[in-house]
Structure 1
Amino acid sequence: MTKTYHIHGMSCKGCQNHVQQTLSKVSGVIQADIDLSNAQAILETEKPIKIGVYQAALAEAGGDYTIHEQGKAPKIKKDSKKTKSETNPKAAAGEGVYYCPMHCEGDKTYDKPGDCPVCGMDLVQEKTAGATAHTTYTCPMHPEINEDEPGSCSICGMDLVPVEPDLSAEEKSYKKMLNKFWIALGFTLPIFIIAMSEMLNDNPLYKLMAQEYWNWVQFILSLPVVFYATWMFFERAWRSVKTWNLNMFTLIGIGAGVAWLFSVFGMLIPDFFPQQFKTASDTVHVYYEAATVILTLVLMGQVLEARAHSKTNSAVKELLKLAPNKALKIVNGNEQQVSIDEIEKNDILRVKPGDRIPVDGIITEGESAIDESMITGEPIPVNKNEGDTVSSGTINGKQSFLMKAEKVGGETLLSQIIEMVNKASRSQAPIQKLADKISGYFVPVVVGISILTFILWVIFGPEPIYVYALVNAIAVLIIACPCALGLATPMSVMVGVGKGAQNGVLIKNAEALEKMDKINVLIVDKTGTLTEGKPSVEAIHSYGDFTEEALLEYISALNNLSEHPLAEATVRYVQEQGVTISKIENFNSVTGKGVTGNFENKKLALGNEKMMEEAGASITDELRAASIKHQEQGKTVSFLSVNKEAVGFVVITDKIKKSSKKAIQALQAKDIAVIMLTGDNQNTAKAVANSLNLIDYKAGMLPEDKQDEIVRLQNEGKFVAMAGDGINDAPALAQSNVGIAMGTGTDVAIESAAITLVQGDLHGIVKAHNLSVAVMRNIKQNLFFALIYNSIGVPIAAGVLYPFFGILLSPMIAALAMSFSSVSVIANALRLRNKSLD
């Protein structure tokens, strides 16, 4: 019989394979097929099996997986490691969110620190806007005093001092690991000195007591190192074997564990071993120094890696510093300082010179120059007047103004940027599949090479055969570093995404970052992409018996219900003229053409020539000739028809962005073909294309036409990016290989795109392309280094150079090399922080 179940907790191929292997081993299961995309398990069994049997098998195999029947709610295991999607208010609020830096389980997160169940590495805390700490003040003499503002102690009168904020989980983990390292180092150094003294001809230590007793001293000194300072490595190694998620700690655990256990066994039962394993004093060679030095060096690598890793998300940390804690709220005409959490929509706030803007909103009174460099990457302050929008975290200039709060908390641009950066940092680039595939075979292959090394040294090695065999087999295990291979991609992605955010380029996922490097065609919309997206009415032309006032009334009535930027421009113009906007009936918006409706028993239509065709309205030669004059100047013309007769048009201008021409030239210099697709008419499109030196353009394009054009180019083998800002661009953005939304555009466009340009100009595309090129080059460097390191290091550790040069690699040197390999990968990724994107 066959039955389908839902599996909760799967997030990657590793999870899928683990669950499939586990359920296949359940007694009575004939076949287990796991569907990762639908989170389903299709189980074929000999007879009905209770669901508790499956759940027990999954629990015993390790990992946070639960199984339940389709349509029934899962029973979530109460464990310290839960995914962010589970009902945890702190995790939902963005607090206490941890993830694996190697993204072994995709975007799976946990609400408590610990080890990754797949690779064993320390989980990293996600930096969120909600984690920003408020400064509180206390009295140095009376710690029970806790105030939000500086002042004097109410008990003794002393000045209050700021309370030191609690260390982040990242800092706590680092300090704990650093303390363990010093403990390990303190006990390892004496062991190393004792072991190295054996090389002296007249060893002074042996005059104090025999070598047998010094072995016991080494054993006692090794206990704190093995069972306290580095015990976590053995725990991770055991978990990796138990779940068969073999990783770096598997190799470390086997290598160091074998060396230490061999030493203990040889010390307790020396007669078990042949003479080849014994010293001149008839004691077995012990390797306490090898085991403890290896473990200590690995721990040192972890400490250095933790410190280096903290710098990879420095961009998010810098963004978090932008979030202010306090704001001045206007209450009954008076200024009142409140916490940022107390601000609600529509509150009026005072922003003083030099202050950070607390939330997103609109200036209601006053003006100032705003430094938006941290969000947009542009160093020049932007002048803001009444009605202009301002963003949380940006810095006010030298003037004061009032603003109305529009977006607060997680809705602010700063919060959204931080959330997008976090998500993108945790996403996997397609190139990582290569590393994952290699890593899947890496550890078993290394263990096999280690065993083969031991056998070959026993067969062909010099005396003492078994000593050489054991030492070289351990060296092979220790020098291999799957960690460097696993870190190669995610570290570069994390730093690159952060670098992009600092320059106003928001990457939704790592896949977009990788694909941007391959782009050879860029499709651009006109309005809001090449132009400023701030259209204004230049003139109203009426013909026949209709007056300009009548046209204004009809046009405003139709456009008042439309969401298009051109419609908003006409409504704004009508309001400035003092004309009352009338109500329309049977309103309908025809995407890419215009709008229709009924007004006082008249059938109205407003839009381009295609709209006139659809409405059955004829355009006279005189009217067409007058419109062409404006269109040839790059202006947009919308015709108005009344009862199927074109009676006039409105002329709308939208300035071309200053950065558009320079950006197009830069992209063309990179051999990227730039094509403009616009819904505007041929004459207007030609005028805009000529001003920007654009050779390729198409006019009169409906949303489906833009999408079809992208499909055509893709079928020709082109890799297409699409830049747009409106609802009508959403299908094309989704169809393209990389969708790029202007940050000044609609939410629908931004949601459909993989990259968002905060400042909303084409120069951001140049930055995005440069960033993609730099990140992909960095990833390839990391992968090359990791693969070459292991390809050269493992054979040397196995002793391939010994027959020719007499060179052998000590397991301790191998441990040092292994530790620094991961640090080197992270250091290379950190170079992206200094990359210029202009």
Structure 2
Amino acid sequence: MDTLPKTPAHTAHGHDGPDATAGPEVELNVTGMSCASCVGRVEKALKALPGISDPRVNLATGRATMRLDDPAALADVTATLGKLGYPAAPRESRLDVTGMTCASCVGRVEKALRAVPGVTEAVVNLATGVATVNHDPSVLPQHLADIVTAKGYASTLRREDPTRIAAHSHNHDDDAQKIKRNFLIALILTLPVFVTEMGGHLLPAFHHWLHVTFGTQNIWLMQFVLTLAVLVWPGRVFFKLGIPALLRGAPEMNSLVALGSGAAMLYSTIATFLPALLPEQSRYVYFEAAAVIVTLILLGRWLEARAKGQASDAIRKLVELAPDTASVERDGQVVTMPVADLKPGDIVRLAPGERVAVDGIVTEGRGLIDESMLTGEPVPVEKAAGARVTGGTVNGTSALSFRVTATGGDTALARIIRMVEDAQAAKLPVQAMVDKITAIFVPVVIGLALLTFALWMVFAPAPALAPALVAAISVLIIACPCAMGLAVPVSIMVGTGRGAELGVLFRRGDALQRLSDARIVGFDKTGTLTQGRPALVGIEISAQSSVPRAEALRLAASAESRSEHPLAAAIVRAAKEEGITLPEPSGVQTSTGRGLSAKVDGHEILIGNPAALEQAGIAPDPALLAKAQDFATKAATPTHLVVDGAHVAVMALADPVRPEAVATIAALHELGVETAMISGDTQATAEAVGRQLGIDRVMGGVLPEGKLKAIRDFGTGTVFVGDGINDAPALAAAETGIAIGTGTDVAIESAEVVLVGGDPMGVVRALRLSRSVMSNIRQNLFWAFGYNVALIPVAMGVLVPFGGPQLSPMLAAGAMALSSVFVVANALRLKRAG
């Protein structure tokens, strides 16, 4: 787990620290520093600048921290660093944005952020409510938050350490409860309005009784009071957000609801209090439409918020893996302290069954740790002194102590959360089409509503005012940019969260779309399809020899115990696994490319290839030579053993195929994907492994630059899977690079997808998941766009000339609310994908 990619810290803290009157503390990543002299030069230059105080530079982290007494001084800081030759790295800031309800809101927030000088990119995710901004280090993140807030969407900076983010940052339950409360209030107030109006239409006798008993004017007055209460209490959010947006010339979903319900309310109010202003035939009230519109849309938003809460379960579960406190050794005593106060080097006591607080290295004890919540692999991993432990995993039944190596945003758990958040915040290429449409959607809808009103007034039989108003309101309400805005991001959100549960981390969200189009998957061999560590897989004893197998292994392992060659280590490991005690060898001599000679218990030992036997003048056993050839055809390296001048055995050494590799290749073939293996081993060895696994194309003897060419020659739809430094170019060149999480940092940094564990079956899970996500997105887009294409004409009244019904604003509101709920609920099906 410690090989997961690091994420840079980019923060701009608020007024924390001893002096609450001081300016905000800012951290910059400074590049190019290589020694203490560099640090001294940077600190000296910063101290000379006006407007900043307490500059501190850390060579190990590459960060400069200071307090800004004058926010404008940050530009001087970055300029000075550039002139010194230590430029500040570009920054990435994240903002939590509230108040966004549709794709139009997203477009406005992105436009406002991109207009800020120094901002190179801004991506806003409606499903998560997070804005990710790449900008020049001279731009204060708080300034970006202020810009968004000024646009009507309250914005705050997100904290650096995702494991310490408050639960509500990944939990929509608070929003859902608030919206539920407003919905219930609206429902209670709306029911009498709805019953008195619609009940009379459904039951003429009930209508007659009501109006005779209470009087029409009194019933309208009651409906006016209750509907006004609905609009100014639970429904005020639509006017609070929608009307200012409309006045700014940037209408959005709330504007449509405010216009629709407001128009119905205004018309009904005039009919109630100033009826003389309306033609006698048009003196109707639509209080029930105004109230029911707000109530149904609040119902839809409540269900949507609940569904979003389920969609963010994966992140929330990861956040909850980090405990709040830990038992730490301090001054000879064990004290309980907040995890946030831990520092690298602290010794933490881990009780049986306790969750590991942060990353570290075991210093005392031996036991099993359950890492399934991070790797997806159910078998606990044994840990002893020197083994790494990962924050968020669960200790077994043994007490352990470990030394802290990483805290806060540098832990593996924090990096995993950050990777999932990065993927969730990404925009797929398919989103570009959605953005273009939604950017003009709401103004077009308002235009269609005005056109509808005009057409009804011109062509409908008199009195046309009331039905014209109903049609225009229905158009405003039926249109649903909410569903359009949620169609893509909510599927990404659920899909990448499900990937994290399966041990598949999408470092970039757009890899989801590219991976779904995979045509061929190329694998590195060593460490990816094989275990990456040679093992003794067979020993053949000569029929003419009196040396038994165990003795042959003992003598060979003793002689090889002084060698650092990987094949020698495999022989020694095999002997120890069989409980064989190894005597100390003497006179060990190696011959590069041939073998090794030594003396063990008075026996002259020679181990090597046929060239070593020939050089020593040893007559080889023909049967053993034949067996060696057989071993070679099965991807094993044959090594001969000579004892006291007699050829007594041949040993087969091989990098064993991972048990899951055969099933992985078979599953890829079932998905219709071609497989390839690109290896630096000889063609014969590579082909032997390829035959074992059933791989379609096998390329052996390939150098790193050859891997790069092979990937390019495969063409479009290419995926490459690897784990080593030599795989990095191919991982970067492939349309989608998938890194084995147990591999090197360089490989992981070059890939778009990371498999947390070493199981190659994760490739299949990633491919299945990406196809499921893209299928889900297509379903959502079809529903969102098809819904509007089909129902907006119905709302305009296109069916009326043919004897069809005119769509009621209440039904329009119900359908609009349903569309968003459908999109989110459909995305939630991805929680079972993979």
Normalising by structure 1, report the TM-score: 0.68
Query: Which residue is 2:800 aligned to?
Result: 802
Q: Indicate the SS of the match to 1:363.
A: strand
Do 2:561 and 2:569's aligned partners in 1 also have CA atoms closer than 8 Å? no
CA distance in 1, matches of 2:339, 2:478: 51
| AA partner of residue 188 (structure 1) | T
* Residue pair 2:360, 2:390 contacting (<8 A) in 1 also: yes
Q: Select 2:743's aligned residue among 745, 749, 774.
A: 745
1:645-684 counterparts in 2 under 5 A? 653-684=654-685
Given the alignment of the two structures, is residue 424 of structure 1 paired with residue 423 of structure 2, yes or no?
A: yes
How far the C-alpha of 1:523 sits from its partner, in A, is 1.3
Structure-to-structure mapping, 1:490-501, within 5 angstroms? 490-501=489-500
Per the alignment, residue 444 of structure 2 pairs with 445
Indicate the residue corresponding to 1:723 in structure 2.
721
Conserved? CA contact 2:560–2:568, under 8 Å: no
Superposition deviation, residue 468 in structure 1: 1.4
In the alignment, structure 1 residue 261 sits paired with structure 2 residue 263:
no
Whether contact under 8 Å (1:439, 1:485) holds in the other structure is yes
The answer to whether 1:622 aligns with 2:621 is: no
CA distance in 2, matches of 1:245, 1:566: 70
* Match of residue 187 from structure 2: 185
- Structure 1 gaps, min length 5: 1-67, 76-84, 135-164, 279-284, 540-547, 560-564, 580-603, 608-618, 639-649
Give the equivalent residue in structure 2 for 1:454.
453
Paired AA for residue 823 in structure 1 = V
Alignment partner of 2:721: what SS? strand
Equivalent residue number for residue 516 of structure 2? 517
Residue 480 of structure 1 corresponds to which residue in structure 2?
479
1:622 counterpart letter in structure 2: A
Aligned match for 1:735, one of 733, 736, 739:
733
CA distance in 1, matches of 2:822, 2:336: 48
Alpha carbons of structure 1 residues 801 and 447: separation in structure 2 relative to 1, 3 Å:
same
The residue number in structure 1 matching 2:821 is 823
Using the alignment, how far apart are the partners of 2:156 and 2:372 within structure 1?
28
Q: Could you tell me whether the CA contact under 8 Å between 2:172 and 2:308 is conserved in 1?
A: no
Amino acid across the alignment from 1:691: Q
Asked whether the 8 Å contact 1:129–1:418 carries over to 2, the reply is no
The whole-number CA distance in structure 2 between the counterparts of 1:787 and 1:118 is 31
**How many Å separate the matches in 1 of 2:184 and 2:778?**
35
Counterpart in the other structure of 1:33: none
The offset of 1:734, in angstroms, is 1.0
| Separation of aligned partners in 2, 1:568 and 1:754 | 34
Q: Which residue of 1 aligns with 2:235?
A: 230
Higher mean C-alpha displacement, 794-803 vs 497-506: 794-803
The Cα shift of 1:530 comes to 1.4
Residues 144-167 of structure 1, C-alpha deviations (whole Å, 9 max, x = no match): xxxxxxxxxxxxxxxxxxxxx999
Deviation by residue 1:639-667 (Cα, 9 ceiling, x = unmatched)? xxxxxxxxxxx998533221112111211
Is residue 742–residue 758 contact of structure 1 (8 Å, CA) maintained in 2?
yes
Q: Residue 456 of structure 2 contacts residue 467 of structure 2 at CA under 8 Å; is this kept in 1?
A: yes
- Equivalent in the alignment of 1:327: 326
Amino acid at match of 2:794: I
* Deviation of the 1:214 alpha carbon: 4.2
Partner of 2:407: 408
Alignment check: 8 A CA contact 2:609 2:638 kept: no
Residue pair 2:168, 2:174 contacting (<8 A) in 1 also: no
Secondary structure of 1:506's aligned partner: strand
Q: Deviation string for 1:11-41 (max 9, x for gaps)? A: xxxxxxxxxxxxxxxxxxxxxxxxxxxxxxx
Contact preservation (8 Å) 2:531, 2:657: yes
2:68 equivalent in structure 1: none
The Cα offsets for residues 423-475 of structure 1, whole Å up to 9 and x where unpaired, read as 21111111222222332343233333323332333344344322112111211
Q: Which deviations, in whole Å up to 9, do the C-alpha atoms of 1:473-513 show, x marking residues without a partner?
A: 21121111111111111111101101010010001122111
Q: Distance in 1 between matches of 2:153 and 2:477?
A: 17
Deviations 1:170-199 (A, max 9, x none): 444333333332333333333334444764
Q: Which structure 2 residue ranges, 5 or more long, are not aligned?
A: 1-71, 80-88, 111-122, 125-130, 133-140, 539-556, 575-581, 586-590, 595-607, 616-624, 640-650
SS state at 2:754 partner: strand
Structure 1 residues 690 and 195, CA gap change in structure 2 (3 angstroms): closer
Inter-CA distance 368–98: structure 2 relative to 1 (3 Å threshold):
farther
**How many angstroms apart in 1 are the aligned matches of 2:491 and 2:508?**
13
Contact in 2 for aligned 1:260/1:291 (Cα 8 Å): yes
More moved, 822-831 vs 527-536: 527-536
The CA distance in 1 between the partners of 2:613 and 2:490, in whole Å, is: 59
Q: Quick one: structure 1 residues 173 and 795, their matched pair in 2 at CA, closer, same or farther if it must change by over 3 Å?
A: same
Residues 100 and 124, structure 1, Cα contact 8 Å, conserved in 2: no
Of residues 241, 248, 266, the one that matches 2:246 is 241
Q: Is residue 2:223 matched to residue 1:218?
A: yes
Please tell me whether the aligned partners of residues 98 and 126 of structure 1 are also in contact (alpha carbons under 8 angstroms). no
Once the 2 structures are TM-superposed, how far is the Cα of residue 822 of structure 1 from its aligned partner? 0.4
Stretch of structure 1 that moved more, 444-453 or 474-483:
444-453
Please show how residues 235-634 of structure 1 align to structure 2 within 5 Å. Answer: 235-278=240-283, 285-330=284-329, 335-534=334-533, 622=611, 634=635
For residues 589-636 of structure 1, the C-alpha deviation after alignment (integer angstroms, 9 at most, x for no partner) is xxxxxxxxxxxxxxx9999xxxxxxxxxxx999369999978655357
- 1:106-185 equivalences under 5 Å are 106-107=123-124, 108=131, 130=162, 132=164, 170-185=172-187
Greater shift in the superposed pair: 387-396 or 762-771:
387-396
TM-aligned CA distance change 1:121 to 1:654, over 3 Å:
farther
Residue 505 and residue 434 in structure 1: after superposition, are their counterparts in 2 closer, same or farther (change >3 A)? same
Counterpart code for 2:192: P
Deviation at 1:671, TM superposition (A): 2.1
Aligned-partner residue type, residue 699 of structure 1: G
Task: Give the TM-score normalised by the residue count of structure 2.
Answer: 0.69
Supply the distance in 1 between the matched residues of 2:389 and 2:458 (Cα, whole angstroms): 76
The sequence identity of aligned pairs, in percent, is 38
Task: Give 2:598's aligned residue.
Answer: none
Q: Secondary structure at the match of 1:328?
A: strand
Computed over aligned residues only, the root mean square deviation of the Cα atoms, in angstroms, reads 4.7
* Matches for 1:83-102 after TM superposition, within 5 Å: none
The number of residues matched between the two structures is: 657
CA distance 1:794–1:738, shift in 2 (3 Å): same
- Structure 1 CA distance for aligned equivalents of residues 208 and 400 of structure 2: 81
* Cα drift, residue 261 of structure 1: 2.3
Q: Give the alignment partner of residue 762 of structure 2, picking from 743, 759, 764.
A: 764
Alignment-derived partner of residue 814 in structure 1 = 812
Distance 1:480 1:358 in 2: 49
Contact conserved, 1:372 with 1:382, CA < 8 A, in 2?
Answer: yes
Following superposition, the deviation at residue 795 of structure 1 comes to: 2.2
In the TM superposition, what whole-angstrom CA distance separates every residue of 1:58-115 from its partner, at most 9, and x where no partner exists? xxxxxxxxxx99987999xxxxxxxxx999xxx97x8967696866431425989999
Aligned-pair CA distance for 1:673: 1.6
Task: Render the CA deviation track for 1:203-260: whole Å, top value 9, x for unaligned.
Answer: 4454566534543443333333223322221233234334544432232222222222
| Residue in 1 that maps onto 2:21 | none
Amino acid in the other structure paired with 1:472: A
Residues 491 and 569 from structure 1, CA distance in 2 versus in 1: closer, same or farther, beyond 3 angstroms? farther
SS of 2:488's partner is helix
Instruction: Give the direction of change, closer, same or farther, for the CA distance of 1:699–1:623 in structure 2 (3 Å limit).
Output: farther
Per the alignment, do residues 326 and 814 of structure 1 end up closer, same or farther by CA in structure 2, a change over 3 Å counting? same
Q: Distance in 1 between matches of 2:399 and 2:250?
A: 59
Separation of aligned partners in 1, 2:150 and 2:757: 40
The answer to whether the Cα contact below 8 Å between 1:127 and 1:316 also exists between their aligned partners in 2 is no
- Aligned to 1:658, the other structure's residue is in SS state coil
2:529 touches 2:658 (CA, 8 Å); kept in 1?
Answer: yes
The 3-state SS of whatever aligns with 1:524 is strand
Check 1:394–1:272 CA distance in 2 against 1; reply closer, same or farther (3 A cut): same
Larger RCO (alpha carbons 8 Å, 6+ apart):
2
Q: Secondary structure at the match of 1:533?
A: coil
Q: Distance in 2 between matches of 1:382 and 1:424?
A: 29
